[in-house]
Structure 1
Amino acid sequence: MVHLYYDSKTGNVQRFINKVIQITGWEAHKIEDGLTVEDAGHLITFTTKMGCVPDKTQQFMDAYASKINSVTSSGNRNWGKNFGLAANKISEGYDIPLAMKFELSGTMEDINQFIDIIKHQYNDSKRGSKKLDIA
């Protein structure tokens, strides 16, 4: 079973996650106080303040980075070079592969691409390849 850990502020990541789990049946866990992570999985978050990692996501990573196999972030292309920058910062800071970035709540193409990456780059292995790509 694939586990997805996510943080959503405006609902964009929540909508993305809802579509992914509807298609795949994977388990999604919202990052909130009291969440305990036992199973390895993939992080999906958002970028805030023109390129920053959300505080709740940062605290989650400080506690559970060893359980995270990849990072994906939503963002807004209006932010230019700061688009989805939270994913880059998490990837570099915790040595975790960056799976992809998507705008706002993602398109169906983004959702299918994400599913494909998780299924074929990882196949339930640990941390997968550093060459995930697509971002």
Structure 2
Amino acid sequence: MHLVFDSLTGNVRRLAHRIAARAAGMDVQDVRSGWIGDPFLLLTYTFHRGDVPESTRAFLRGAGRGLRGVVASGSYHWGTNFARAADVIAAEHAVPIIAKVNKGGTDADVALILAWLASATAPNPTNLQTVTFTGGTHGTLD
């Protein structure tokens, strides 16, 4: 499983590298640097009032077949549009939302994502379409 991220401010990039540091052998790639292979977990941000970044959309147009789950970052001050990119991508690609994180996420968010990755990469993974991790304590690292 690969981690693929799209980051505007650096929050999502830092989150992807925190996850990779705790998951031995996990490749990390920016959506702008090309394709490294299937399958992958996408970590992206939410732009403006709930939009999926165009750079994320462009990447998924070419590599969407390998998408297994999505994590989106946002800011709580957007209310119902908080991390809405996850909702949009999950609906368009029929994959689970693994987490919605506030800005760069918390240690609890990292643990939750790592738990999903462990399940998804197990020899006999659970039905990933129905496994959705939500909740946890959210905070900011900024």
Q: TM-score, normalised by structure 2?
A: 0.85
Paired residues of 2:4 and 2:42 also in contact (CA < 8 A): yes
Query: Which residue number corresponds to residue 99 of structure 1?
Result: 98
Query: Which residue number corresponds to residue 85 of structure 1?
Result: 84
In structure 2, runs of 5+ residues without a counterpart are: 135-142
Deviations 1:85-124 (A, max 9, x none): 0011000011122111111001111101110012124537
Summarize the Cα distance change of 1:124–1:45 in structure 2 as closer, same or farther, 3 Å threshold: farther
Summarize the Cα distance change of 1:124–1:40 in structure 2 as closer, same or farther, 3 Å threshold: farther
In structure 1, runs of 5+ residues without a counterpart are: none
Cα distance, 1:68 vs structure 2? 0.8
The root-mean-square deviation of aligned C-alpha atoms, in Å, is 1.9
Q: Percent of counterpart pairs with the same letter? A: 25
Summarize the Cα distance change of 1:8–1:96 in structure 2 as closer, same or farther, 3 Å threshold: same
Q: Distance in 1 between matches of 2:127 and 2:56?
A: 21
Query: Which residue number corresponds to residue 27 of structure 1?
Result: 27
17-26 vs 54-63, greater mean Cα deviation = 17-26
Q: Distance in 1 between matches of 2:61 and 2:74?
A: 22
Q: What SS does the corresponding residue of 1:66 show, helix, strand or coil? A: helix
Q: What SS does the corresponding residue of 1:52 show, helix, strand or coil? A: coil
